[in-house]
Structure 1
Amino acid sequence: MTSPVSELIELLSLERLEDNLFRGQSRDIGTKYVFGGQVLGQALSAAQATLDEDEPRAAHSLHGYFLRAGNIEAPIVYMVDRTRDGGSFSVRRVTAIQHGQPILFLAASFQKEESGAEHQLSMPEVPMPEDIDPSPALAPEVLATLPTKVQRWVSRQGPFEFRHVYPRDELNPPKRPPFQQVWFKLSEPVGDAPELHRALLAYASDFQLLGTATFPHGISYYQPNVQMASLDHAMWFHRPFRTDDWLLYSIDSPSAQQSRGLARGMVYDRHGRLVASTAQEGLIRVVRDAKGS
C-alpha cells in the first residue's frame, strides 16, 4: 500500500503527451472539486519540465487564476507556452484544461542562480513544532454530525502534518483577529530535487491561507452555509527549502469585502530563513438556508 506522500509525488508527476503538453490525474482529498493546490503544483511541474536541463533555472514566482472548478473524476491537461528564454530568466504560461475548457491560467518565471543584495523580515517568535501537540482527532459521534464534505475532509490521512500555534475550533469558530501561524511538513522524507520541493510547496500553500480571512467573522469552511473558493494565487520562492522538514506558515488577512477575502503568507524554515511568500484572494460567501452535503 502506497503512502499519502508517495501518492502526492505521483500526482505531481505528469504524463508527457507532447513537447509542451502534459496530463495529470486528480485525487479526491475530501473537497467537492479538485483541490486548488493540486492544480498549482501540477501546473508548476509542467512548466518546470519544459526548461533546458543543461542550463538550470529555478522558479522564483508564479501567478495563477482559477477559472472554473475542476472535476475530481477527470484528468487535467496542461498546455505550456514557452513564452521566453532570456539570458537570465525564462517565462512559461500554462493553461490547465478539462473537458475542453480552461480551469486555470498560470504564469511562472524562472531565473538562473545569481548573487546580489539580500535581506528578509524576521520570523515571528513562536513555539517550535516539537513543543506543539498535534491536533486531536474528532470523536466518531461528533464526526457523524458534520456535513458529508466536512467528514471526508477531516477524516483523510493527508501527506502533510500540520501543527497550529494558536488552534481554532473550526466547528464553533470564535471571532478573532485575522492572523495565524502553522507549522507543516511532509509526513515522511522525500528526494532532494529542488523542483519537486517547489511543486510540493505550491500544493501545500493553498492550505490554511484563505481560511485566515474568515477569522474576524466567526465562520469556517466546515460550516454547511459557508462557500469558499480560491480565485487567484501568487507565490514567490526566495531561498532553498525542504518540505520534509518543518516550515512555518505565517498568515494574515488585511481585507475582506464583497464576498472576497485577501490573505498573505510568509513561509520560514525552522532556522528562521524566509523561503517563500504567498498571496491569495478567494470567495467567502455565507449562504442562507444551506443544507449539509
Structure 2
Amino acid sequence: MKESVRELMQRFSLEPLEDNLFRGQSEANGQRSIFGGLVAGQALLAASMTVPEERPVHSLHAYFLRPGDIRRPVIYDVDRIRDGKSFTTRRVNAIQHGRPIFSLAASFQVEEEGARHQAPMPEVPAPEELETDEQARLRMADRIPKQFRDDFLRERPLSFRPVTPRDAFEPESREPVKRFWFKVGDTVEADRMTQRALLAYCSDYGFMGTAMQPHDMTFWQSNVQCASLDHTMWFYDDFRVDDWLLYDCQSPGAAGARGLTFGNIHRRDGVLVATVAQEGLMRLRPGEELV
C-alpha cells in the first residue's frame, strides 16, 4: 500500500476514549489549518460508530466553525439524539483546545426499497484517457515558490483525473462547471461506514473552486481568502472509494463573498451514489485586486 494511503487509513481509525467520545489524528498537509474534509469524514465516522451497521448514513449537514490546529488531535463528542424504528439521528462536535471547530448532524436509516430515479451521469472521457493530477503538478513545479514546492509535489492519498483542467496560476474565466474523476490511490479494505466517511473526506477536495471559476480566482492567489463554511451530503447507493468516481460540480450563484456549489458523484457504471452541497468563503482581501 502507498505510504500516503496507509497514513490516510490510520487517520480513519478513530480511538475510542469513552462512551460517545473519540479521538482522531490531524494531518500535516502543507496548509495552515486542518483540511475540512478530514474533520467531516472523521466526525461522520465517529457518529457511525454509535449506530448499528444495518443503518447506513443517508445524510449529513455540517458547519465549519473555526480553523483546526494541525499540531493537535481532534476530539469528537457524539450526542445520541434519537434512535427510532427506521431512522437514527446523531450530532457531533469536533473539539480542539476546549472549543468546537466543527459541528455535524447525521441521519441513518434502515435499508428499504422504494421509488428511484437519478440524474444521468454526464458523457465524459474515461479516466484512462485523461492526464493525471500528478502529471499536471510536475509540469507546474517550476512556478511554485521554493518553500512550498515539496508540499505541492508530495505523494497524495487521492488520484485525480480532471476532465477540463485549469491552470492554477493563470486562470481564465470560465463557466462554473467542473468535472473530474477521483479515487483513493491504492486498494483499501474498509466497511461501508468507513467508505462513506472516506467519501465525505474526498468530497471537499477542489469542490468550492467551481464557484471561483467565473471570477479568475484560485486557491493559489495570495490576495484571495478561501474557506469552507458548510457542507451537506446525501447518500444513495454503495460504492468503493478505490474505484473511479466522477464528480460533476456546478455553482448556481455567488454573492456576499460566498459561493455555492452542488455536486453529483457517480460510480463508473453511471449509478448516482451521492449528492453534495457546500457554501464557501471566496473573499478578495480589502484594497487588493486579482492578479
TM-score over 0.5 (shorter chain):
yes
Question: Counterparts of 1:142 and 1:133 in 2: how far apart (Å)?
Answer: 19
Partner residue in 1 for 2:57: 59
Question: Counterparts of 2:224 and 2:255 in 1: how far apart (Å)?
Answer: 15
In structure 1, what residue type is equivalent to 2:25? Q
Question: Counterparts of 1:76 and 1:8 in 2: how far apart (Å)?
Answer: 15
| Structure 2: runs of 5 or more not aligned | none
In structure 2, what residue type is equivalent to 1:18? E
Question: Counterparts of 2:254 and 2:141 in 1: how far apart (Å)?
Answer: 34
In structure 2, what residue type is equivalent to 1:20? N
Which runs of 4 or more aligned residues in structure 1 lie more than 4 Å from their structure 2 counterparts after TM superposition?
none
1:3, distance to aligned residue in structure 2 (A): 1.3
What do the CA deviations read for 1:45-81 (whole angstroms, capped 9, x no partner)? 100111135xx21000000001000000011110000
In structure 2, what residue type is equivalent to 1:231? L
Question: Counterparts of 1:113 and 1:183 in 2: how far apart (Å)?
Answer: 28
Partner residue in 1 for 2:12: 12
1:144, distance to aligned residue in structure 2 (A): 3.0
Question: Counterparts of 2:8 and 2:251 in 1: how far apart (Å)?
Answer: 28
Range 25-34 or range 227-236, more displaced: 25-34
Partner residue in 2 for 1:281: 279
1:202, distance to aligned residue in structure 2 (A): 0.4
Partner residue in 2 for 1:144: 145
Find the residue that maps to 1:13 and give its secondary structure. Answer: coil
Q: TM-score, normalised by structure 2?
A: 0.94
Question: Counterparts of 1:195 and 1:201 in 2: how far apart (Å)?
Answer: 10
Question: Counterparts of 1:207 and 1:169 in 2: how far apart (Å)?
Answer: 16
Partner residue in 2 for 1:228: 226
Partner residue in 1 for 2:34: 34
Which of the numbers 213, 216, 237 marks the counterpart of 1:215?
A: 213
Find the residue that maps to 1:62 and give its secondary structure. Answer: strand
Confirm or deny: 8 A CA contact 2:178 2:250 kept in the other structure.
yes
Partner residue in 2 for 1:265: 263
Confirm or deny: 8 A CA contact 2:173 2:214 kept in the other structure.
yes
Question: Counterparts of 2:2 and 2:211 in 1: how far apart (Å)?
Answer: 35
Trace 1:121-136 onto structure 2 (pairs within 5 A): 121-135=119-133, 136=135
Question: Counterparts of 1:42 and 1:75 in 2: how far apart (Å)?
Answer: 11
1:143, distance to aligned residue in structure 2 (A): 2.1
Question: Counterparts of 1:21 and 1:101 in 2: how far apart (Å)?
Answer: 15
Range 263-272 or range 126-135, more displaced: 126-135
Partner residue in 2 for 1:197: 195
Partner residue in 1 for 2:159: 161
Question: Counterparts of 1:91 and 1:152 in 2: how far apart (Å)?
Answer: 42
RMSD: 1.6
| Structure 1: runs of 5 or more not aligned | none
Find the residue that maps to 1:215 and give its secondary structure. Answer: helix
Find the residue that maps to 2:50 and give its secondary structure. Answer: coil
Confirm or deny: 8 A CA contact 1:225 1:289 kept in the other structure.
no
Q: Does 1:103 align with 2:101?
A: yes
Find the residue that maps to 1:121 and give its secondary structure. Answer: coil
Question: Counterparts of 2:52 and 2:140 in 1: how far apart (Å)?
Answer: 51
Find the residue that maps to 1:251 and give its secondary structure. Answer: strand
Q: TM-score, normalised by structure 1?
A: 0.94
Partner residue in 2 for 1:185: 183
What do the CA deviations read for 1:213-239 (whole angstroms, capped 9, x no partner)? 100000100111111000000001110
1:151, distance to aligned residue in structure 2 (A): 3.7
What do the CA deviations read for 1:159-208 (whole angstroms, capped 9, x no partner)? 11000000000111000000010100111111141111101100000012
Aligned length: 285
Question: Counterparts of 1:172 and 1:230 in 2: how far apart (Å)?
Answer: 23
1:140, distance to aligned residue in structure 2 (A): 4.4
In structure 2, what residue type is equivalent to 1:142? R
